[in-house]
């Protein structure tokens, strides 16, 4: 059986870090609960990768937990609607995790997950339909066992658009402490790697 701590969401949950005053483990658990309670989200994830249009905070971590192992396209919240659409099309992204303040820039043909109130609840809005509230319950975190010194998986976990190119990082890339030669999304250094070290962000 593969080591669960070789996967970014579980490694974050096991690190005991905090973001925005919340336990990263509880945020990952909330994302996993969303998968269990939203069939439309699971169906949409089967048709294409998810995208995350969020600032670097607690909702972003919950979204990582809800990506269900699919590599997530990282979108800059400063992008305009036209650029967001073109990047979603380039990645064939089917789901966008975001908040209400950014949702009007997301094309209406994508399933939108509004994480304004995560980790307590979220809203899932299928294309052309009203949002449905999903209660995520309360989370104290996840109990995880695995080899902590094992390297991360080589499978892709993050995608981003660099110019006209779609680039990717593996779990190993994000979890390693060295700097990758290519330009990477700021969220890697600003949020994900600090959380993996158990820091407060």
Tell me the three-class secondary structure of the chain, residue by residue.
Answer: CCCHHHCHHHHHHHCCCEECCEEHHHHHHHHHHHHHHCHHHHHHHCCCCEEEECCCCHHHHHHHHHCCCCCEEEECCCCCHHHHHHHHHHHCCCEEEECHHHHCCCCCCCEEEECCCCCCEEEEECCCCCCEEEECCCCCCCCCCCCCCCCCCCCEEEEEEECCEEEEEEHHHHHCCCCCCCCCCHHHHHHHHHHHCCCEC
Residue 127 lies in a domain: yes
The CATH number linked to 121 is 3.40.50.980
Q: What pLDDT shows up at residue 79?
A: 97
Chain segment 103-156, per-residue pLDDT in tens: 999 999 999 999 999 999 999 999 888 889 999 986 555 554 445 566 789 999
Residue 130 lies in a domain: yes
Residue 72 lies in a domain: yes
Range of the structural domain that residue 123 is part of: 1-195
Listed as ranges, residues in the chain with pLDDT below 50 are: 1, 144-146
| pTM listed for this prediction | 0.92
Residue 77 lies in a domain: yes
What's the number of domains the chain is made of?
1
Q: What pLDDT shows up at residue 183?
A: 67
Residue 34 lies in a domain: yes
């Amino acid at each position: 059986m593969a080591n669960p701590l070789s996967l970014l969401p579980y490694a974050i949950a096991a690190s005991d870090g905090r973001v925005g005053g919340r336990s990263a483990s509880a945020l990952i658990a909330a994302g996993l609960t969303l998968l269990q309670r939203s069939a439309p989200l699971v169906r949409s994830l089967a048709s294409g990768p998810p995208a995350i249009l969020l600032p670097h905070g607690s909702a972003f971590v919950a979204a990582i937990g809800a990506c269900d192992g699919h590599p997530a396209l990282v979108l800059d919240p400063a992008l305009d609607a036209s650029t967001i659409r073109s990047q979603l099309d380039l990645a064939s992204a089917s789901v966008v995790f975001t908040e209400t303040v950014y949702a009007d820039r997301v094309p209406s043909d994508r399933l939108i997950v509004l994480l304004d109130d995560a980790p307590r609840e979220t809203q899932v809005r299928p294309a052309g339909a009203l949002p449905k509230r999903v209660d995520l319950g309360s989370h104290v975190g996840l109990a995880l066992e695995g080899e902590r010194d094992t390297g991360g998986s080589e499978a892709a976990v993050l995608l981003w658009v660099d110019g006209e190119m779609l680039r990717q990082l593996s779990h190993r890339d994000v979890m390693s402490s060295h700097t990758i030669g290519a330009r990477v999304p700021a969220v890697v250094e600003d949020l994900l790697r600090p959380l993996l070290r158990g820091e407060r962000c």
